[in-house]
């Protein structure tokens, strides 16, 4: 709740996390298992890209555009190194770990696993390209699962697997959590017990996730 004089109110509507989606049919074809590390992902992606011989097939899609999702992208390898981004209210950035994480993403681009213009890719771009069958591995949120499996434009229905995100070498994997509120006007006549169901009935934009 934001203090007066504005006094806007928002209720938690959904929670989400980032996952690794993959083309199960293609991995099975090449005898590849979901990767446990980013290096394993790069090697598996290159193997399948070379085997499929499709110039438009991306090994991995992730969010590199200057949006909130890019912050999550940055944090995945950073947290996987066991580092904290903040302690209490103070920034606690470990610069060597931050550089290591960023270099990992750059290496994936240099290897041809991720496309050159990854810095322009947003959340929806990854979803659409994966649904089109142009991506082997994709980092995205939980809401994408339903789209991959049931969207009328999805070419990968029944061909998708999901796994925890890969880890840095000799480390544990990390994910990012997200959530969204359903705002309510202070002038609403709805009593509090009815707010949550009202949010969904009124098709609050976030509730579709």
pLDDT in tens, 169-188: 888 888 887 766 666 666 65
> How many structural domains compose the chain?
1
- What is the rounded distance in angstroms from the CA atom of residue 50 to the CA atom of residue 43? 11
Whether residue 198 lies inside any domain: the answer is yes
- 1 in any annotated domain: no
CA distance 97 to 195: 43
Burial label, 122 (beta-carbon count in 10 A; 0-12, 13-18, 19+): middle
Q: Looking at the domain assignment, is residue 3 inside a domain?
A: no
Higher pLDDT, 84 or 6: 84
Distance, in Å, from the CA atom of 4 to the CA atom of 89, rounded to the nearest integer, reads 23
Of the candidates 127, 126, 124, the one whose C-alpha atom is nearest the C-alpha of residue 115 is 126
Q: What is the CATH number of the domain that holds 170?
A: 3.40.190.10
Q: Is residue 43 in a domain? A: yes
Give domain status of residue 188, yes or no. yes
Note down the domain range covering 108: 9-208
| Main-chain dihedrals φ then ψ at residue 21, nearest 5 degrees | -95, 145
C-alpha span between 135 and 58 (Å, rounded): 5
Q: Of 9-13, 32-36, 114-118, where does mean pLDDT reach its minimum?
A: 9-13
Q: What is the pTM of this model?
A: 0.81
d(C-alpha 70, C-alpha 87), whole Å: 21
Core vs surface per residue 35-68: b (16+ CB within 10 A) or e: bebbbbbbbbbeebbeeeeeeebbbbbbbbbeee
Q: 91 pLDDT exceeds 80? A: yes
Does residue 149 or residue 5 have the better pLDDT?
Answer: 149
């Amino acid at each position: 709740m934001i203090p007066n004089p504005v006094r806007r109110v928002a209720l938690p509507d959904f929670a989400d996390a980032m996952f690794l989606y993959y083309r199960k049919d293609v991995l099975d074809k090449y005898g590849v298992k979901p990767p446990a590390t980013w290096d394993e992902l790069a090697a598996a992606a290159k193997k399948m890209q070379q085997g499929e011989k499709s110039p438009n097939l991306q090994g991995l899609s992730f969010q590199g555009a200057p949006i909130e999702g890019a912050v999550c992208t940055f944090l995945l390898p950073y947290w996987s190194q066991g580092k904290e981004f903040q302690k209490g209210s103070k920034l606690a950035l470990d610069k060597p770990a931050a550089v290591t994480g960023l270099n990992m993403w750059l290496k994936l681009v240099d290897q041809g696993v991720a496309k050159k213009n990854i810095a322009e890719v947003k959340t929806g771009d990854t979803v659409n390209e994966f649904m089109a069958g142009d991506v082997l591995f994709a980092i995205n949120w939980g809401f994408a699962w339903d789209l991959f499996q049931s969207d009328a434009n999805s070419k990968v229905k029944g061909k998708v697997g999901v796994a925890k995100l890969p880890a840095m070498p000799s480390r544990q994997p990390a994910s990012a959590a997200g959530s969204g509120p359903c705002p309510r006007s202070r002038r609403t006549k709805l009593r509090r017990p009815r707010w949550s169901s009202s949010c969904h009935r009124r098709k609050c934009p976030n509730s579709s996730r």
